[in-house]
Structure 1
Amino acid sequence: MSSPSPQPGPARSAQPEFAVRGAVDLSALSRPQAPPPGEPGGAPEAGGFVVDVSEANFEQLVRDSSTYPVVMLIWIPTDQANAELGGTLGRLADEYGGRFLLGRVDAQAYPQVAAAFQVQGVPTVVAVLQGQPLPLFQGAAEEQQIRGVLDQVLAAAEQNGVNGRAPGAAPAAAEAEQPLPPLPPLHQEAYDAIERDDLDAAVAAYEKALRQDPKDSDATAGLAQVRLMQRTRDADLAAARKAAADAPSDVDAALAVADLDMLGGKVDDAFARLLDLLPGADADDKEKLRVRLLELFELAGTGDPRVSKARKRLAISLY
């Protein structure tokens, strides 16, 4: 099994980066066959945290990957080896309880959807985070190896703020007995606004919460997250990097790339880019850099050792 370690996904772009690049190798059709999903000896039917992907729901699943990780299995469900892998991934999807959604793409029934992942053969497993495909492995794999790869995907998702739960099975009994407490009204208002993609309303709700309680750390972190989403909504990573490279002392260009680095999980790079500009910046630019760094510190978490190190550099540069 080829299983490269997943890295934090690239910054969110306006359109998912899927492109058809020819047909998928369907040589698995000549191998030992298994019954169709749901029949004895075959892979389980879709359900719970497992969905079958078609041209009708593919784009929605890609959009959903900004809320929770989507793991795509490109397969031929009646091939024995494919069916075994599908069964293993399905069990793990249920075991992980919605931390990711498993999407199964029948390469024979939906060749255009399968080809969009630019895979060479089946079975192939690809993660999708924030609309971006992240190849995981091709071919059969042991369950323990798969667990390791999934854990890396979830870690990358967490770094990118993709930590929602996929809809599916009912909550476990223990969870049902101990429901989560409701969010404070303004936090719920902000959450609902994010769900309907009204980021301005989410910002307003968090700002109101902070006016009521300036020590509301959850509102401070939420506000930083939403502002980052606003700033990077239509950002082009390549264009932003080129602008920063062409004008190394341009503070606004550096701020744009730092945001995208943060979104991509490159926390140290984001901090260093802004801290490096502080010594030569004028008073106005220093204030811009200071404010943005404090927001990025909130995103990383005040307990993160990288934040502690960066805070010391910030203090030295300012004072």
Structure 2
Amino acid sequence: MTQQPFSRPGAVDLSGLGQASASGPGAPGAPAGGAPGGALSAYAVTVTEQNFQATVEASMTAPVLLAFYSRSRSPESARLADDLEALSGEFEGRFLAGLVDIDATPQIAQAMQIPSVPLVVAVLDGRPMPLLQDAVSREELRTALTQVLQQLTAQGVTGRHQPRSPQPQAAGEDAEQPAVDPRYAAAQAALENDDVDGAVAEYQKLVDANPADAEAAAGLAMAQVLQRTRGVDLQQAREAAAAAPDDVAAQTLVADLDLLGGHVDDAFNRLVELVRRTSGSERDAAREHLLGLFGAVGNDDPRVLKGRQNLASALF
């Protein structure tokens, strides 16, 4: 992987997009990056001027990888885009592949100031960074993606995209899924026995073994909320937070308590406002804590989707 300075290190400027005619290049239904006439992966999208902003905003849930390519000018860039699309299915939503044909959507290439293709740009929380600028093999790409996602998981980024299209059910496959996954049995048993530390340890083992396991990451996040709030007096915590509105430790503790009490929106809003008011390392800590609470609730929960939108507004 080649890491080079990217000309737009901040949030993507979308002001020049969305003005193209729906019948022009890049309109919905434009050819995808995959095989001609073939269906996209459930975790890939053909990026157009019309859906570019929505695609970037999807990075508030989990990473979006934008593959810029030109079939006519750089066949190797088109192959890389095809490989990224194929691998998006293997990773089952850990990232969304955005396929950007720079010939069909020149406005996007201009807005992103794309120097050349092939180029894969990672977007997380609306912020782009160059990820890959070489035409590597599919196996090399798979290895690189695994390493990047492991690093993100270690930083608390455990979100997962929902499928963009229905996935066909295999012949003979039962529609009903097992009620209990045995991988999580030990952690769940620990929670049932009020052994929060044991549950944290068990979920941590699962995450260490498979950083892409979103279920284990969510379980770990919730177990850590239980661990942080164990023995805490709610009234005292609220009084401390009221007395120090910009104290990250005080505010995150009350957010944890609100979450456990079922006041999910209150927990999210408290930390969104804290992100809005703070800066530097304090802002980063508040944001990371909020992302952890998102993971504990579940990324497909509508309250999380709303919370991510509010966080994006607070950040940008």
TM-score with structure 2 length normalisation?
0.49
Q: Relative contact order (alpha carbons < 8 A, sep ≥ 6): 1 or 2 greater?
A: 1
